[in-house]
A and B are shown apart, each in its own frame.
Chain A
Amino acid sequence: MKRHIIYITSIAVILLQSVLPSCREIYRHEPNIAEDVIVVDGLLSDRPGPHLIRLTGIQMIETSDPDNPHSPVNEGIPDYIRGASVIVADDAGNQFIFNEESPGHYYSDSTLRAVEGRSYSLHIITSNGHVYLSSPQQLPGPVNLDTLIAMNTYRERLMLSTQGTYFNERVHGLEIVANIRGSGKNRPLFRLVPQYLLLYTQTFANHQNFHWKKLYMPDNININMEAYEKVSATVRNHEVTFMSLREQDLYIDREDDFNPHRRILLLSLFSLNEESWNFYSSAHEQIHSEGRLFDPMAKQLPSNIYCDSDPGRLALGLFEVSRVTKRTFVVVETPWEDFYPLKETEDLHHIPDFGKTFIDPPGFWVDR
Chain B
Amino acid sequence: MRVPFNLATLLLLLVPLFAEQGAGQTLRQEPLRLDELIILLEKKHSTRIFYRQEWLQESAAGPEILDMPLERAISLLSRSNNLSVYRIDNYYVLAPGSDPASRYSTPDETTVAIGDPLEYGRYPIVTLSGTISDGQTGESLAGAVIYSQRTGTGVPAGPDGHFSLNLPPGEHRVSISFVGYETSGRRIYLYSPGEFDFELFEETLQLDEVTIMAQRAEANITRTRMSMISLDSRMLRELPGSMGEQDIIRSMSLLPGISTVGEFGTGFHVRGGSADQNLVLLEEVPLFNSSHLFGLTSVVNPDMVTGVTMTKAGIPARYGERAASVMDIRIRPEEVTSTSLTGGIGLLNSRAHLKTPVFSEKIIFSAGARTSWSDWLLGRIPDEDLMNSSAGFYDLTGTLTFSINPKNTITIFGYNSADRFAFAGNSDHAYGNTLGSVRLNSIAGEKFSFSINAGFSNYNYEVIESDELRPSAAYRLNSAINYRSLKSNFMYFPDPDHNIEFGFNAIHYDTDPGNLTPYGPGSDIIPVAIDSGQAVELAAYVSDNFALTPSVSIEAGLRYSRYFRLGEATVYIYEQGMPRSAASITDTLHFGANEIVKSYGGPEPRLGIRYILDGESSVKASYNRIHQYINLISNTSVIIPSDTWSLSDTHLKPLKSDHYAVGYFRNFSNNSVETSVELYYKRLYNVTEYKEGAQIILNERPEADLINAKGHNYGIEVYARKNSGRLTGWASYTLSASIRRSGEEHPENKINRNEYFPSNYDKPHDFSANLNYNITRRWILGGTFAYSSGRPVTLPELYFYHGNTMLVRYSDRNAYRLPDYHRLDLSLTLLENLRTDRRGKGHWTFSVINVYGRKNAYSVFYEKNDRTAGTRSSLFSLYKLYIIGRPLPTLTYNFTF
Q: Verify that A and B bind, or say they do not.
A: yes
Interface positions of A (Cβ within 8 A of B): 1, 3-5, 7-16, 18-27, 29, 31-33, 35, 37, 39, 41, 56-61, 64, 72-75, 77-78, 153-156, 158-162, 166-168, 175, 216, 218-221, 226-229, 231, 236-237, 274, 282-283, 285-287, 289-302, 314, 316-318
Interface string of B379-401 (1 = CB under 8 A from A): 00101111001010000000000
In the complex, the chain A residue whose C-beta lies closest to that of B464 is: A4
Mark out the residues of chain B between 598 and 655 whose CB falls within 8 Å of any chain A CB in the assembled complex: 635-638, 640-642
Q: Using Cβ atoms and an 8 Å threshold, which residues of chain A touch B429?
A: 4, 7-8, 11
B833 within 8 A of A: no
Cβ contact within 8 Å between A286 and B526? no
| Cα-based distance from A287 to B802 in the complex (angstroms) | 12
Nearest chain A CB to B149's CB is how many angstroms away? Answer: 44
Other than A4-B463, A59-B798, A295-B793, give 16 A-B pairs with Cβ distance below 8 A. Answer: A24-B881, A27-B878, A31-B811, A33-B797, A39-B801, A72-B877, A73-B877, A162-B870, A237-B472, A282-B692, A289-B693, A290-B864, A293-B881, A294-B636, A295-B860, A296-B636
B810 within 8 A of A: yes
B233 within 8 A of A: no
A20, A23, A168: the one within 8 Å of B888 (CB):
A20
| Cα-based distance from A16 to B888 in the complex (angstroms) | 13
Would you mind naming 18 contact pairs between A and B with Cβ atoms under 8 Å apart? A1-B697, A4-B477, A15-B293, A18-B386, A19-B296, A24-B882, A26-B878, A31-B811, A35-B798, A73-B875, A153-B470, A159-B868, A160-B866, A162-B869, A219-B874, A295-B861, A300-B809, A316-B809
Cβ contact within 8 Å between A168 and B384? yes
Q: Using Cβ atoms and an 8 Å threshold, which residues of chain B touch A226?
A: 695
Decide yes or no: A21 and B884 within 8 Å by CB, A166-B383, A318-B802 being known contacts: yes
B293, B810, B859, B864: the one within 8 Å of A294 (CB):
B859
Decide yes or no: A61 and B264 within 8 Å by CB, A11-B391, A295-B637 being known contacts: no
Cβ contact within 8 Å between B691 and A74? no
| Cα-based distance from A227 to B377 in the complex (angstroms) | 37
Cβ contact within 8 Å between A3 and B880? no
B377, B423, B803: the one within 8 Å of A11 (CB):
B423
B296, B697, B800, B804: the one within 8 Å of A78 (CB):
B800
Main secondary structure of the interface of A (DSSP, over half): mixed
B748, B796, B798, B882: the one within 8 Å of A23 (CB):
B882
Decide yes or no: A295 and B869 within 8 Å by CB, A8-B642, A285-B693, A316-B800 being known contacts: no
Q: Using Cβ atoms and an 8 Å threshold, which residues of chain B touch A59?
A: 798-800
| Cα-based distance from A73 to B862 in the complex (angstroms) | 12
B692, B799, B804, B870: the one within 8 Å of A298 (CB):
B692
B95 within 8 A of A: no
Q: Using Cβ atoms and an 8 Å threshold, which residues of chain A touch B698?
A: 1, 227-228
Cβ contact within 8 Å between B807 and A283? yes
Q: Using Cβ atoms and an 8 Å threshold, which residues of chain A touch B422?
A: 11
B805 within 8 A of A: yes
Q: Using Cβ atoms and an 8 Å threshold, which residues of chain A touch B875?
A: 72-75
Decide yes or no: A286 and B879 within 8 Å by CB, A159-B869, A168-B385, A295-B793 being known contacts: no
Nearest chain A CB to B878's CB is how many angstroms away? Answer: 4
Decide yes or no: A161 and B528 within 8 Å by CB, A4-B463, A59-B798 being known contacts: no
Nearest chain A CB to B17's CB is how many angstroms away? Answer: 50
Cβ contact within 8 Å between B801 and A21? no
Cβ contact within 8 Å between A298 and B810? yes
Cβ contact within 8 Å between B878 and A61? yes
Cβ contact within 8 Å between B516 and A297? no
| Cα-based distance from A31 to B867 in the complex (angstroms) | 26
In the complex, the chain A residue whose C-beta lies closest to that of B861 is: A293
Mark out the residues of chain B between 787 and 823 whose CB falls within 8 Å of any chain A CB in the assembled complex: 793-811, 813, 816
Cβ contact within 8 Å between B469 and A22? no
Cβ contact within 8 Å between B381 and A297? no
Cβ contact within 8 Å between A219 and B804? yes
Nearest chain B CB to A126's CB is how many angstroms away? Answer: 16
Mark out the residues of chain B between 512 and 530 whose CB falls within 8 Å of any chain A CB in the assembled complex: 516, 524-526, 528
B47 within 8 A of A: no
Q: Using Cβ atoms and an 8 Å threshold, which residues of chain B touch A316?
A: 800, 809
Cβ contact within 8 Å between B859 and A295? yes
Interface string of B80-117 (1 = CB under 8 A from A): 00000000000000000000000000000000000000
Decide yes or no: A15 and B391 within 8 Å by CB, A72-B865, A291-B863, A293-B881 being known contacts: yes
| Cα-based distance from A64 to B692 in the complex (angstroms) | 27
Cβ contact within 8 Å between A294 and B797? no
Cβ contact within 8 Å between B640 and A294? yes
Q: Using Cβ atoms and an 8 Å threshold, which residues of chain A touch B5?
A: none
Nearest chain B CB to A269's CB is how many angstroms away? Answer: 16
Mark out the residues of chain B between 414 and 473 whose CB falls within 8 Å of any chain A CB in the assembled complex: 421-424, 426-427, 429, 463, 465, 469-470, 472
Cβ contact within 8 Å between A297 and B861? no
Decide yes or no: A24 and B423 within 8 Å by CB, A31-B811, A166-B383 being known contacts: no
